[in-house]
Structure 1
Amino acid sequence: MERLAGRAILLWGWKRALLAFMAGAIAVLGQAPYDFFAACFVAFPVLVWLLDGAVADAPAGFLRRLKPAFATGWWFGFGYFLAGLWWIGGALLVEAESFAWALPLAVVGIPLILAFFYGFAAAVARLLWSDGIGRIVALAFAFGLAEWLRTFLFTGFPWNPIGFAAMPVPLLMQSVAVVGVAGMNVLAVFVFSVPALLAERRNRKLGFSLAAVLVAAHAAYGYFRLAVPATPSERSINVRIVQPNIDLAEKWDGTVRDRIFASLLELSSAPPKAGAEKPDLIIWPETSVPFLFTERPDALVAIGETLAEGQMLLAGAVRLEGGASAGQAGIYYNSVVSINDKGEIVEAVDKVHLVPFGEYIPFADVMARVGLSQLVAGPMNFAAGTNRRPLALPGGLKSVAFICYEMIFPGLVSVDAASTQIMVNVTNDAWFGDTPGPYQHFRQSQVRAVENGLPVLRAANTGISGIVDPRGRVVDALAMNVRGIIDVSVPVAVSSAARGPVWQLGGFLILFLFAVAAGGLKLRQKLRAN
């Protein structure tokens, strides 16, 4: 092992960049749908050894000294994000004749940008670098900091955080309710990096002992939480999730809209499966309604005739404000509308966190001058909603709806889920086909359920639709690219404590402790050297 570490440390130039790139790509195997977390026990020790050798020629200024570490981290990040996000390009192939030119921008450009976060992490780690376990602590803190910054900088994109590799199954997801994803990122990088100590004798026993304690506590806490019976539910709600499996090539085709709408009504009105109750709540995916209700008021009449007395529909739809039809001036919103059994829209919530270049164009005037427009096929640009409020459900319950990738933002979901009993996620992952993307997106819903202690009802056009309980367990789900429904009785607690402050505080506490430890070990090494 010492010989292997030595060879990695001494690498330079393109060989160092290639090894860092390969290590990052290997680390992606720890994410859904592969869930091979053992790969991270290879990737992160290699990164540690590469950073051991990331030393600038002396003498050098402050930034020049950090350049080798930054470059190493950047190549690691480029490999990680390229291997983990290549499927994003599928959205541009839905209408390839219009958008295929932008494929390199999505497939390569996004990883190029995101890699700067890991380059930053490596540079910060190198600032706090010390011998033995100190450098493992420094790397864990630095990656935790970078992953936290990734949740909000440049609109945020916390997809595939490292901590998810330590949470492949519900048993190993429960710790996130205490330390959040921010804390899990720190602890996961620490544990994954400890095998680097096999190449030296210093702190080897201490490092592996700490890692063993963390892994044991992680698994034991998960076992305890899953073994303890849940608080008896005060009531339940019968839910039907509709997965229509609509081909995106047809979605906005005016000649087939009636057929698409009829398919949604057919699935919604189908008799309950054996043993299931008649649904109180029916959920359609994101933008599933193939036209504007302002253009087709008869669609609301048809929905009212389809719904039985007391039933309610939550439908993903495009909402127009300020115009009577698509041809008039108005503002479009990506929304979830609540429709009662009379065919009346009683409430609506709009998507607050839009996808840049997919649903809106940042700095639209400037982008238009250089010929850049919306990079995903769709009927219009959307405006962002100003706030999100709970939607009333049958039986006096409340839900909060998140549209598409809003579900990947821990802070956003935590704030809104604190005063509700159910979380709803509607999405249209058909843009990405049967790739790792939809599986990774579904994993986000599982983690959000555990963080907030609330069930998640998820409706996706082509999958994965499902019901996740407050412990992250999948109650029922539909496979990718199938047309069907799920009927489930979902138990809920009418009163639920807000969990957000718990895991947010826990995550920042972990970050703080690792920062102090890394700084203290660095200072001790300096004092010892003097």
Structure 2
Amino acid sequence: MSLHSVFERLAARPWLAAFVFGAASALALPPVYALPVLLLTIPGLLTLLGRAKGWRQAAWIGAWFGFGHQLVGLYWVTHAILTDVAKWFWLVPLAAPGLALPMGLYSILPALVAWRLAPGWPRVLGFAGAWVLAELLRGWAFTGFPWNLMGTAWAFAPLPMQPAALIGAFGLSFFTILLAGLPLLGARRAFGTGGAILAVWMGYGAWRLQGLPPQGTGAQLVLVQGNVRQDLKWDPSHRAAIFQRYVALTSQGAAAAVAEHPEAPVLVVWPETASPFLLAQDPEAIRIATEALPPRGLLLAGTVRAEWGPDGRANALANSLVVLDADGQRHGLYDKSYLVPFGEFMPFGGLLPIRLAAGGMDFSAGPGPSTLPLPGGLPAPGPLICYEVIFPGEVVGAERPGWLLNVTNDAWFGNSAGPYQHLASARMRAVEEGLPMVRAAQTGISAVFDRAGREVARLGLGETGVLRAELPAAGPPTLFGRWGRWIPGGILILSLAVALLLGWRRPSQV
């Protein structure tokens, strides 16, 4: 059976064809990075939209494409249910579709825009611009969830990521969709235009990488990956053993760093909520944790923090990062601001009684991105807890940090695509901001990337140990770092304006 006949059979059922194209397009995302598949799926979708008999059918085609795309891209959310399958077994078949359905609805917008535009350049250009608009909306509405932006399909290597320093991941999404739609313009235009775009794209990447040679600060990083299973993490019978594992790994990694670099300061990082005790407030836990530090060492540790009421009960909780020195003195504290629905707070006023994380109290949100000054003139980090790192243009506060620090607990994702997708987003933020990205993950993947997104070191998924590396130096502020989402916003406005001028079709012409 030829490819043409397969497409014709699918076209007879446009909703099924759209779902298949959407599901296949997710293969372009991490960790598969099968970018060429978009050269089939995006033209296939636009062809279906061109054949749609009305705006309702076009909307359904867009929704089915989005549902398939998000279902394959977000299948890993089921692993969060499996951490307590006895309690949440009934959610197993619902979790991934339940998230993919609302996320997939954002694809209706670019589908309707493409349907109303004439074939050729107007439809391709307008669809690319509207796709980015939908991604921007998805990253903002209902607290936002800009996971798996199409631009992260280039996060497999430093070279193709470099234009993100100018236009961000949203801008990369625009040109990715634009390139994928070019086959609809014919072979000559597709090869000519696509070749020119890729030549400029990769040429800029090579030029930028050459102009930003690897540089270090001298400070030594020790990232501790305790590799604690999520179902054991808050078990009271395992608290002491988990804490001792982190202390022992800290002592081991710090000793190795001092032996190799006796004069260098040592920055030890524990992942999100690594401490099973309230490390910012528990004197005994602080004493034990900091005894493992060298004299010039600092511990930057993820921990839950509580605020106590007059009755001695906790009346507020925060997902925090605390900075402690070798004497147990606190030098900084950061509270997570972007909280996870159904994990750290109950959305919709608790109408859906689903709380996957332990405990019965919502976490309180912090004020937002900030910079934590460190003693001794060390470069100050910009902390990002868990999925705060997935928000382009929202990872740096008013004061530019010297590096970005992402502490996370990806044990929720299991051995799935989730940790790799999360890692790709973190890597993209390094390029966008021109800042090193240091990532400590509970079960992996822990990694260090320099200001250009080059990998300095990595500790794989499911490994227990420490990752040591020199803290890379910051680069100059990037264009995207200065202007943020205004840049992809301008790109989408310009593309939509040109597409509308070239080929807006009146209802009678559709």
With normalisation by structure 1, the TM-score equals 0.89
- Are the structure 2 counterparts of residues 37 and 10 from structure 1 closer, same or farther at C-alpha, using a change threshold of 3 Å? closer
Matched, 1:178 2:166: yes
Question: Matches of residues 87-166 of structure 1 in structure 2 within 5 Å?
Answer: 87-127=76-116, 129-166=117-154
Distance 1:324 1:420 in 2: 37
Partner SS, residue 412 of structure 1 = coil
| Cα deviation 1:477-505 (Å, max 9, x = unaligned) | 00111111111112324975774234534
Partners of 1:125 and 1:141 within 8 A in 2: no
Q: 2:452: which partner in 1?
A: 471
> In the alignment, which residue of structure 2 is the partner of 1:63?
none
- Following superposition, the deviation at residue 10 of structure 1 comes to 8.9
Match of 1:190 among 178, 185, 193: 178
Amino acid aligned to 2:420: Y
Question: Structure 2: which amino acid aligns with 1:466?
Answer: A
Of stretches 437-446 and 301-310 in structure 1, the one that deviates more from structure 2 is: 301-310
Does the CA-based 8 Å contact 2:450-2:473 persist in structure 1? no
What do the CA deviations read for 1:348-389 (whole angstroms, capped 9, x no partner)? 11000001111100133544xxxx131344574311112343
Q: Distance in 1 between matches of 2:251 and 2:283?
A: 20
One-letter identity of the residue aligned with 1:340: D
Contact kept, 8 Å, 1:446 with 1:468, in 2: the verdict is yes
Cα deviation code 1:44-93 (max 9, x no counterpart): 1111111111122xxxxxxxxx1111111111111110011011111111
CA distance in 1, matches of 2:479, 2:218: 20
Residue 379 to residue 285, structure 1, CA distance change in 2 (3 Å)? farther
Find the residue that maps to 1:462 and give its secondary structure: coil
Deviation at 1:217, TM superposition (A): 0.9
Partner of 2:328: 343
Aligned residues: 501
Which ranges of structure 1 fall in alignment gaps of 5 or more residues? 57-65, 199-203
TM-score, normalised with respect to structure 2:
0.92
CA distance in 1, matches of 2:235, 2:282: 15
CA contact (8 A) 1:400 1:417 kept: no
Unaligned runs of 5+ residues in structure 2 are none
Letter in 2 for 1:292: L
Deviation at 1:197, TM superposition (A): 3.0
Please tell me the root mean square deviation across aligned C-alpha atoms, in Å: 2.5
Partner of 2:394, secondary structure, is helix
Do 1:194 and 1:207's aligned partners in 2 also have CA atoms closer than 8 Å?
A: yes
Q: Does 1:272 align with 2:263?
A: no
Q: For 2:174, give the aligned amino acid.
A: V
Matched, 1:22 2:20: yes
Separation in structure 1 between the aligned mates of residue 283 and residue 226 of structure 2, nearest angstrom = 22
Q: 1:421 aligns with which of 395, 402, 405?
A: 402
Distance 1:238 1:401 in 2: 18
8 Å CA contact retained: 1:242, 1:267: yes
- Shift of the 460–313 alpha-carbon distance from structure 1 to 2, 3 Å rule, reads same
Q: Which amino acid aligns with 1:299?
A: A
Distance 2:480 2:405 in 1: 17
Q: Which residue of 2 aligns with 1:39?
A: 37
1:112-511 superposed matches below 5 A: 112-127=101-116, 129-198=117-186, 205-230=188-213, 235-270=217-252, 271-272=255-256, 275=260, 280-293=266-279, 296-323=282-309, 328-367=313-352, 372-377=353-358, 380-396=361-377, 397-413=379-395, 415-416=396-397, 419-493=400-474, 499-502=480-483, 504-511=485-492
Offset at residue 516 of structure 1 (A): 1.7
Deviation of the 1:6 alpha carbon: 11
- CA distance 1:484–1:380, change in 2 (3 Å): farther
Residues 138 and 339 of structure 1: CA distance in aligned 2, closer, same or farther (over 3 Å): same
**Helix, strand or coil at the partner of 2:74:** helix
Please say if residues 91 and 376 of structure 1, whose CA atoms lie closer than 8 Å, have aligned partners that are also in contact: no
Aligned to 1:201: none
Is the 2:225–2:441 Cα contact (8 Å) retained in structure 1?
yes
**Residues 113 and 29 of structure 1: CA distance in aligned 2, closer, same or farther (over 3 Å):** same
State whether residues 74 and 115 of structure 1, in contact with CA within 8 Å, keep that contact through their aligned partners in structure 2.
yes
Amino acid at match of 2:316: I
Q: In 1, distance between residues paired with 2:10 and 2:448?
A: 50
Offset from partner CA, 1:105-140 (integer Å, 9 cap, x none): 42111111111101222012222x112222111211
Residue identity opposite 1:4 in structure 2: H
CA distance in 2, matches of 1:3, 1:456: 44
What's the secondary structure of 1:230's corresponding residue? coil
Instruction: Measure, in 2, the Cα distance between the counterparts of 1:279 and 1:379.
Output: 40
Q: Report SS of the residue matched to 1:332.
A: strand
Contact preservation (8 Å) 1:280, 1:394: no
Per-residue deviation at 1:512? 2.1
Q: Which runs of 4+ in 1 moved over 6 A?
A: none
What is the CA-CA distance between 1:213 and the residue it aligns to? 1.1
Inter-partner Cα distance in structure 2 for 1:356 and 1:457: 25
Residue identity in the other structure for 1:219 = M
Q: Does structure 2 retain, via aligned residues, the 8 Å contact 1:176–1:503?
A: no
Match 1:79 to one of 64, 68, 73: 68
Judge conservation of contact 1:73–1:122 (CA < 8 Å) in 2. yes
The verdict on how the C-alpha distance between 1:497 and 1:126 changes in structure 2, with shifts beyond 3 A counting, is closer
SS at 1:217 equivalent: helix
Contact 2:50-2:119 within 8 A present in 1 as well: no
- CA 1:254–1:498 in structure 2 vs 1: closer, same or farther (change >3 Å)? farther
The SS at the match of 1:32 is coil
C-alpha distance in 1 between matches for 2:485 and 2:299: 33
Distance 1:394 1:483, change over 3 A: farther
Q: CA shift at 1:236, angstroms?
A: 3.0
For 1:341 and 1:76, locate their aligned partners in 2 and report how far apart those are by CA, in whole Å.
54
Instruction: Assess if the C-alpha contact under 8 Å between 2:10 and 2:17 holds in 1.
Output: no
Q: Take 1:194 and 1:5, find their aligned partners in 2: how far apart are those partners?
A: 22
8 Å CA contact 2:21–2:44 kept in 1: the answer is: yes
Q: 1:499 and 1:355 mapped to 2: Cα distance? A: 26
Report the secondary structure of 1:454's partner residue.
coil
Q: What residue identity is the alignment partner of 2:290?
A: G
- Cα separation, 2, equivalents of 1:497 and 1:26: 34
Tell me which amino acid in the other structure corresponds to 2:325.
N
Offset of residue 331 of structure 1 = 0.2
